[in-house]
Structure 1
């Protein structure tokens, strides 16, 4: 039946054109934004996952910054400690030289005084962003220092920040308030460094920072210093060098761990970004092909609607005849 009141063909063509326009709008939005899932209405599940992982990636970016700060702090402490070990080796060689007959021990002591000043300078200068793991002027201990290492999300959705811990008791060289807490200010019993020990304490310390250990002698020489005292001083300095070497090795191990963790965090961020892309990114090759096809369909739909609208006009010819 042909009707001038209801044009079924035009209605069908219009419905098809509306569907094409809707798909074309979606495709154009994907092409312009680059996302297949841009809002929650596109795909609530994928959008939720992508939003959470983007948040985690932002947290990991902050972790990477914290690792960089921690690495700089550890590197600063290690560099200063390495310099201290070299200076200590020089002091040891000066004490060995003082053991030779006929040398001017007072001159050697003046050189040692300058070397001691260098030790103090190195410890005081080992500061980065207000953190100094080698020099303590506070009443309390420096305690444990933490470097943020990772951001972890558990299977139950809980999150936590993990850290690398370092006990500054293994690195403090100078402690103003309590000499026993610093490698270079504490007293060391030379009698315990020989085998067998005599049982008579002979304690020495290297630096007097205003709280010298009671009953201990400073490692300093003059013309009256005996060969036995020199031997004790050499033993104490050598023991300090071994302790400082162990401390530097610990800092070196932490530096290596931070570098590995930094590389891991960077790779993890890349993998997460790649995973997010697989969920929400648009395939531009596919979308461009679909866009071209929909534009063609739109033109055909407009043509079909035009044909459907003109079919009613043909009825006029029947009445004209």
Structure 2
């Protein structure tokens, strides 16, 4: 039936062309943005997951920065305490050499020891990073934040959305080499316990007028200090290793999250390019079909000629 009021063919062609134009707009948008899920309306579930994971990855960027700062502090302290271990060992050798030495030789040995003591004070005092010196703290500080270096190392989200953070902790009391206060409770400035040398420490011992008995007590004190330095170096070394491992892990984790998000929301440009070509052809055919359908009404006029 031919009708001038209802053109079913034109309606069908128009509906098909409308769908084609919509799909073409979607494909063009994917090509322009590089994303198949750019908004919640594209795929609400994937968009929500991707948004959450991107937020977590920003947190991982902050964690990486925190690890970098904390790692710098630990590495600086580790370098300085290793040097202190070597210097204290040299002081021990000098004190041992002073046993049964003449007063003149003891004076010369003390000159060498004094130079080493000055080096220790300078190196430990200069082991600061970002304004923090882990090797020179208050030995009398109460337990808690003041006695622990905590480096934020992880950001964790549970299945219920609860957030927790992990830390790498360093006990500052175990690595307090030179007390930052007058308490003198550090590894190197703590006084020896020997009855004859109970007013001196590694940093201010003097062999020039010391007896063999006093020198023995000094050696005992030096050994105690050396053991403390070794323990502190081990603690810092372990913390340094953990920071390095965690930094690598966070970097790999961020890359994995990026890949996962990309798999959900990134457009496959090869497919979109092929789809664009096909839709452009469909659009041209749809326009032509609509033109043919609209021309049908013109044919009705010929019936009345």
| Both proteins in one fold, TM over 0.5 | yes
Q: Which residue of 2 aligns with 1:177?
A: 181
Q: Which residue of 1 aligns with 2:99?
A: 99
Is the 1:204–1:236 contact (alpha carbons within 8 Å) kept by the matching residues of 2?
Answer: no
SS in 1 for 2:154: strand
Higher strand fraction (1 or 2)? 1
Match of 1:167 among 171, 175, 180: 171
SS in 1 for 2:190: coil
Q: Which residue of 1 aligns with 2:10?
A: 10
SS in 1 for 2:274: helix
SS in 2 for 1:129: coil
Is the 2:81–2:233 contact (alpha carbons within 8 Å) kept by the matching residues of 1?
Answer: yes
Deviation (angstroms), 1:207: 5.3
Q: Tell me if 1:75 matches 2:75.
A: yes
Distance, in Å, in 1 between the alignment partners of 2:86 and 2:183 is 22
Deviation (angstroms), 1:285: 1.7
Is the 1:64–1:262 contact (alpha carbons within 8 Å) kept by the matching residues of 2?
Answer: yes
Q: Which residue of 2 aligns with 1:206?
A: 201
- Give me the CA root mean square deviation: 1.9
Name the CA shift for 1:232/1:138 in 2 (closer, same or farther; >3 Å). closer
Match of 1:313 among 284, 294, 298: 298
Distance, in Å, in 1 between the alignment partners of 2:9 and 2:210 is 118
- Map 1:1-321 onto structure 2 (within 5 A): 1-102=1-102, 104-136=105-137, 140=141, 142-190=146-194, 203=198, 205-206=200-201, 219-222=205-208, 224-320=209-305
Distance, in Å, in 1 between the alignment partners of 2:85 and 2:200 is 16
Name the CA shift for 1:164/1:77 in 2 (closer, same or farther; >3 Å). same
Stretches of structure 2 that go unaligned for 5 or more consecutive residues are none
Tell me the matched-pair count: 301
Is the 1:81–1:248 contact (alpha carbons within 8 Å) kept by the matching residues of 2?
Answer: yes
Stretches of structure 1 that go unaligned for 5 or more consecutive residues are 191-199, 209-217
Deviation (angstroms), 1:80: 0.8
Deviation (angstroms), 1:256: 0.4
Query: Which deviations, in whole Å up to 9, do the C-alpha atoms of 1:201-234 show, x marking residues without a partner?
Result: 86363256xxxxxxxxx52122x42112112212
TM-score by length of 2: 0.93
SS in 1 for 2:187: coil
Is the 1:169–1:181 contact (alpha carbons within 8 Å) kept by the matching residues of 2?
Answer: no
Distance, in Å, in 1 between the alignment partners of 2:295 and 2:8 is 13
SS in 1 for 2:64: helix
Deviation (angstroms), 1:292: 1.1
SS in 1 for 2:52: helix
Query: Which deviations, in whole Å up to 9, do the C-alpha atoms of 1:12-31 show, x marking residues without a partner?
Result: 11111011101111111111
Query: Which deviations, in whole Å up to 9, do the C-alpha atoms of 1:256-287 show, x marking residues without a partner?
Result: 01111111111111111111112111122221
SS in 2 for 1:12: helix
Distance, in Å, in 1 between the alignment partners of 2:283 and 2:295 is 18
Task: Point out the more displaced range, 53-62 or 173-182.
Answer: 173-182
Deviation (angstroms), 1:167: 1.0
Q: Which residue of 2 aligns with 1:193?
A: none
Distance, in Å, in 2 between the alignment partners of 1:176 and 1:74 is 18
